[in-house]
Amino acid sequence: MSFKDLHIIDPILKALAAEGYSNPTKIQEKAIPPLLEGQDLLGCAQTGTGKTAAFAVPIIQRLYRERSAEKGRRTLKALILTPTRELAAQIDSSFSAYGAFSGIRHTVIYGGVSQNPQVQALRSGVDVLVATPGRLLDLMNQKYVDLGDVRYFVLDEADRMLDMGFLRDVERVIEKLPAKRQTMLFSATMPPEIEALTKRMLKDPVKIAVTPVSSTVDSIVQYVYFVDKANKTKLLIHLLKDKKIESALVFTRTKHGANRLSAALQAAGESCGVIHANKSQTARLRALADFKSGASRILAATDIVARGIDITELSHVINFDIPETPEDYVHRIGRTGRAGLAGTAISFCDAAERKYLNGIEKLTGKKITVVAEHPYPATAAADDTVQINRGASAEKNPSRRNRDFSNRRGQKPGTGFRGADSPKTAAGRDRMY
């Protein structure tokens, strides 16, 4: 099937062709027809499935036709709400690409930068606004954004909104939207809070689920190295001697961990950038641009800011720290192996992280290949713990049976930024993320 078969108008077909796209992905094929008909949609899709075009193309097409029939001043007609600045910028770029020949005006607003250019863009009149919750609420309170004419509302990465503590902010935005509108919600996972939200905001939605977890991970070669925490950096430096690792996105659990790793790799002669919540927007964009251009081979990142980053030709994802929630593992490794290209995911697992690895294997339904032969194998004590957690009887090693492997901060797995580190205001969260 081609995009033309989906009854896409010529200006958009021309734009898609200019981007090198001729055939829709599964989610685009399933979502575009009902969205063009005005139906609400609930999409359960992983990163890298083409979901941005799945909602952007129908919105552009409907606005194009409506604009041709309407006269007068432009008012905001479509709102796309997304959790992070990086993802917001990525979606805005997609509207630029797909709407290049449509005459549709759009802009993006997010925290961490001056609001003045954003306010000027809004004053000039836009059809589509891509926004993060904090900055949107700020500008709404200042009367720079009026949602009264919004006809199309997209809530993207809804589960990540929940993880980052934005759910109440999202509800505040929804309260200001017209009751008569088309609503689209996309989420990689469907926790109870998001299920409840969908029931409140969607009306008889078309439900689409694509690229199940097993399909995502099956297309990527995966390895795990059991290694002591103290030796992870040495092991990474050793592996990077292999030039088959053309580019690597390396995930750490904390911002400070990303900084330390980047400094260590640079000291070892590796070109490495770093992005996390404490970096300015300018610094993040520069680090990402250097990575995409090949100026830096390695990019160290945390989960929150890396969500939404789109890198087409990424050879490796390396989990320097195993993620605490299995879904984050799938999100991470899904950034490699795109567009039919080969992809490899490597994970470093110390004794305390073994429980996280068990959860990942349970979610994906497959065991990850263990690389036993390497210069920094886990110590015998760590190996014993690994065997216990892999299902061996704890009675075989009673001295280690009740050992507590919870993380040092005392944070429960999967709680993300909801603990003491959570900023108290929407604007504060925008500055963080």
Render each residue's pLDDT in the chain as its tens digit; 433 residues: 889 999 999 999 999 988 878 888 889 999 999 999 999 999 987 666 788 999 999 999 999 999 876 777 789 999 999 998 888 998 999 999 999 999 999 999 999 899 999 999 999 999 999 999 999 999 999 999 999 999 999 999 998 898 888 999 999 999 999 999 999 999 988 889 999 999 999 999 999 987 655 566 777 899 999 999 999 999 999 999 999 999 999 999 999 999 999 999 999 999 999 998 788 878 888 998 899 899 999 999 988 666 656 677 789 999 999 998 787 788 788 888 765 567 899 999 999 999 999 988 887 888 999 999 999 999 854 444 344 344 433 333 333 333 333 333 333 333 333 333 333 455 555 554 4
Instruction: Report the run of H or E that residue 60 belongs to, with start and end.
Output: helix 51-69
CB 318 within 8 A of CB 346: yes
User: Both tokens of residue 21?
Assistant: 């796209």
CB 378 within 8 A of CB 228: yes
- ∠ CA 351-353-359, rounded to 5°: 130
Q: Where are the beta strands (DSSP E) in 215-366?
A: 221-226, 248-251, 272-275, 298-301, 316-319, 344-349
- In this predicted structure, what is the pLDDT of residue 167? 92
- In this predicted structure, what is the pLDDT of residue 411? 39
Please tell me what DSSP assigns to residue 344: E
- What CA–CA distance (Å, rounded) separates 350 from 265? 20
- What CA–CA distance (Å, rounded) separates 261 from 255? 10
- In this predicted structure, what is the pLDDT of residue 215? 61
Identity of the amino acid at 306: A
User: Both tokens of residue 142?
Assistant: 């200042």
- In this predicted structure, what is the pLDDT of residue 324? 85
User: Both tokens of residue 298?
Assistant: 């390695």
- What CA–CA distance (Å, rounded) separates 185 from 201? 9
- In this predicted structure, what is the pLDDT of residue 285? 84
Characterize 125-157 residue by residue with b for buried, 16 or more Cβ atoms within 10 angstroms of its Cβ, and e for exposed.
ebbbbbbbbbbbbbbbeeebbebeebbbbbbbb
- In this predicted structure, what is the pLDDT of residue 419? 31
> Could you give all domains of the chain from N- to C-terminal order, each with its CATH number?
3-211 (3.40.50.300), 214-402 (3.40.50.300)
Residues in the chain: 433
Distance separating the N- and C-terminal Cα atoms of the chain: 38
Characterize 55-71 residue by residue with b for buried, 16 or more Cβ atoms within 10 angstroms of its Cβ, and e for exposed.
bbbbbbbbbbeebeeee
Percent of all residues in the chain with a pLDDT value above 90, rounded to a whole number: 61
- What CA–CA distance (Å, rounded) separates 304 from 163? 9
Place of tokens 């934005």: 166
Please give the radius of gyration of the chain, using alpha carbons only, rounded to the nearest integer: 23
| Adjacency order of strands within the sheet including 152-155 | 106-109, 128-131, 78-81, 152-155, 182-187, 41-44, 206-209
| Overall pTM surpassing 0.75 (yes/no) | no
Instruction: For the chain, give the longest Cα–Cα distance.
Output: 78
| Adjacency order of strands within the sheet including 221-226 | 272-275, 298-301, 248-251, 316-319, 344-349, 221-226, 369-370
- ∠ CA 139-144-150, rounded to 5°: 95
User: Both tokens of residue 78?
Assistant: 């479509």
